[in-house]
């Protein structure tokens, strides 16, 4: 696949970058990524992946743009209040980079739909805001053998980790089960600094680009945590894959996606 003159100019800073170059850029142009959530995390992920030239991006979100979103969800604009978030994100991506094919899924993700949603894509981004969906993404991706990148944010802090089945622990290895409703404050209850969501989403995008290109050390078996108040950034070693993990262990008990397993009230990032 030869790049045209416009692409050679658009991606010039990648093409001269040691570790990316023409080979890496061609991998980006051929790659496909599904972003689940077009909110605070999904906004910078979508924009940076589109700017980098990821050839196909899917956006999944069943919500509409609200004025309270605009403090952090930078893929949307004031004149799109009331519009579908997935459609709004697609408008921004297409305006940013016409090279990118955008798939719009104006729907929520559930146990009945997620397998079909993730199937066509190389990589999945967890840009969601509640534990139920995070566990669902983990279980679906592990069962399907799809790599995914997890992130979470509340207040001034956030975290990022990569999950590749067979190469390190999954999300369920670390957190096992959803906490009882009300035990962990949601971002709606505790608040969230918009710029922090941007930092964590940008880190997710960085990890995605690294995995696609095949460069650097991905966050497999490690979780990056950020405390914006102190600017303390830590790379926390995680346990090895847990042999008795319910989904990726030696004798898994989760072998299909039972909708009753993923019921929990959602918060709004």
Catalytic annotation, residues: 187
Binding residues for Zn(2+): 170, 173, 245, 248
Among 108, 68, 54, 70, which residue's Cα sits nearest to residue 86? 108
Residue 135, both tokens = 């566990």
CA gap 101, 230 in Å, rounded: 39
Binding residues: 13, 40, 61, 72, 85, 109, 129-133, 170, 173, 245, 248
Q: Residue 259: which residues within 8 A CB-CB, separation 6 or more? A: 110, 111, 112
- Residue 56, Cβ density class (10 Å: 0-12 exposed, 13-18 middle, ≥19 buried): middle
CA gap 136, 193 in Å, rounded: 26
Among 201, 111, 195, 187, which residue's Cα sits nearest to residue 155? 187
Torsion of CA 186, 187, 188, 192, to 10 degrees: 160
Q: Residue 249: which residues within 8 A CB-CB, separation 6 or more? A: 241, 242, 243
Residue 208, both tokens = 């995605």
Under DSSP, is residue 87 helix (H, G, I), strand (E, B) or coil?
helix
Binding residues for ATP: 13, 40, 61, 72, 85, 109, 129-133
């Amino acid at each position: 696949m030869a790049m045209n003159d416009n692409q050679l100019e658009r991606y010039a800073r990648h093409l001269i970058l040691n570790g990316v170059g023409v080979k890496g850029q061609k991998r980006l142009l051929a790659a496909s990524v599904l972003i689940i959530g077009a909110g605070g995390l999904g906004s910078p992920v979508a924009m940076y992946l589109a700017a980098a030239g990821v050839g196909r991006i899917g956006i999944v979100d069943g919500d509409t743009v609200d004025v309270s979103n605009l403090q952090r969800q930078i893929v949307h604009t004031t004149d799109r209040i009331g519009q579908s978030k997935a459609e709004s994100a697609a408008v921004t991506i297409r305006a940013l980079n016409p090279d990118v094919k955008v798939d719009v899924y104006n729907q929520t993700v559930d146990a009945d739909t997620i397998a079909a949603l993730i199937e066509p894509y190389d990589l999945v981004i967890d840009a969601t805001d509640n534990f139920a969906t995070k566990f669902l993404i983990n279980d679906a991706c592990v069962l399907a053998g799809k790599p995914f990148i997890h992130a979470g944010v509340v207040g001034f802090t956030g975290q990022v980790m990569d999950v590749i089945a067979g190469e390190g622990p999954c999300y369920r290895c670390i957190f096992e089960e959803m906490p009882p409703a009300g035990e962990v404050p949601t971002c709606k209850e505790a608040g969230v600094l918009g710029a922090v969501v941007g930092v964590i989403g940008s880190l997710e995008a960085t990890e995605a680009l690294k995995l696609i290109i095949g460069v650097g050390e991905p966050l497999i078996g490690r979780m990056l945590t950020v405390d914006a108040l102190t600017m303390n950034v830590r790379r926390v070693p995680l346990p090895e894959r847990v042999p008795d993990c319910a989904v990726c262990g030696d004798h898994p008990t989760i072998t299909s996606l039972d909708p009753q397993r993923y019921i929990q009230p959602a918060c709004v990032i």
